[in-house]
Structure formats: C-alpha cells, structure tokens
Amino acid sequence: MADDSAWVTTDKALFSSLPGGRAVIDWFGFCPSFHDATLESITIANGSASLTLRAFRITDRTDETGCFILDRHTQVVIRLRHVTGLSLAGDAMSIISELTVRRLPATPDRSEWPTCEGPADGDIEVAFGTSIGLTGSLYAKEVEFELLPAG
C-alpha cells in the first residue's frame, strides 16, 4: 500500500474523524488507499456490514532481490452500521486497487434502489475498486475502523 498521493475521492478529514480512523492513519503514517490489500471477509447481517482487509505498507526500500520491502502488516476491520445500500459485483476473492471513504454530497438516483430506500445525502460511502475479484460500494449512517496489528 503506497502513500496517499493517489487519493482523489477520499475525504481525509472524515476518515480521521471516524472512530478508529486516526489509529489507522497513525499506524501507516498516512491516510491509506489500501492498494494491494486483500479483502479477507465481508459480512452483511441485520442492517450492518463489515469488511476485513489484510493490509501492509509498501516502503521505498528494496531488498537484495530488488523487491520493495513491506512493513506495518495488519488487519483493518471496517464496520458499517445502519447500512442504507450495497452494490457488489465480482467473485469472492478480491485484491483492492483503492478504497475510498467519503460522505455523499447528494441523494443518489432512487431508481438504482428498487427494493429499499437506498443511501441518502450525508451517508458515508465506503467504495473499493479491485485489480482482481470483488468490487463495490457500501453506504451507511455510521462507519468505524478497528486496527489489528499482526503479531
């Protein structure tokens, strides 16, 4: 996971203000994009959802073979409460290309949500692209992060 220079859509102030967000930023030394993180699990139940990512930091140092050195290995759990919408596509394996967190500036077109009310202005969107596998967006009233550093 590289530094935050590629982030365009993530609201860094929002990210850091969410419960656990500052701890994630402090662990990596920047607001992470989760590039090359593995989506280990996604759980959806009773109006809530969670994503568990296996993540690391890519340093600018290389080893004797010329490969970049990875450090700060961890699991990051993103918990969403009062989920208002989900949009997922792909298969169950996923390597994240970029994960973004932002507050919706307007209510999305309701035609995209025929079976529920759907997300609304002010909800938090957690969206992730993929280089392989599952991609998607989750929308919720509340989002928090939990950092589980590897032993």
Please list, in sequence order, all residues whose beta carbon lies within 8 angstroms of the beta carbon of residue 129, skipping any fewer than 6 positions away: 96, 97, 98, 99, 135
Instruction: State pLDDT tens for residues 29-63.
Output: 999 999 999 999 999 999 999 999 999 888 889 88
What does the pLDDT average to over 75-104? 93
The answer to whether the CB of 132 falls within 8 A of the CB of 93 is: yes
Distance CA 118, CA 81 (A): 14
Instruction: State pLDDT tens for residues 93-151.
Output: 899 999 999 999 888 787 888 888 889 999 999 999 998 999 999 999 999 999 997 75
Q: What is the DSSP string of the chain?
A: ---GGG-SS--HHHHHHSTTHHHHHHHHTS----TT-EEEEEEEETTEEEEEEEEEEEEEEE-TTSPEEEEEEEEEEEEEEEEEEEEEEEEEEEEEEEEEEEE-SSPPPGGG-TTS----TTPEEEEEEEEEEEEEEEEEEEEEEEEEE--
The answer to whether the CB of 145 falls within 8 A of the CB of 31 is: no
Q: What pLDDT score was predicted for residue 151?
A: 55
How many other C-beta atoms can be found within 10 angstroms of the C-beta atom of residue 26? Answer: 11
What predicted TM-score, i.e. pTM, was given to this entire model?
0.88
Token pair 């935050």 is at which residue? 4
Higher local confidence (pLDDT), 107 or 79: 79
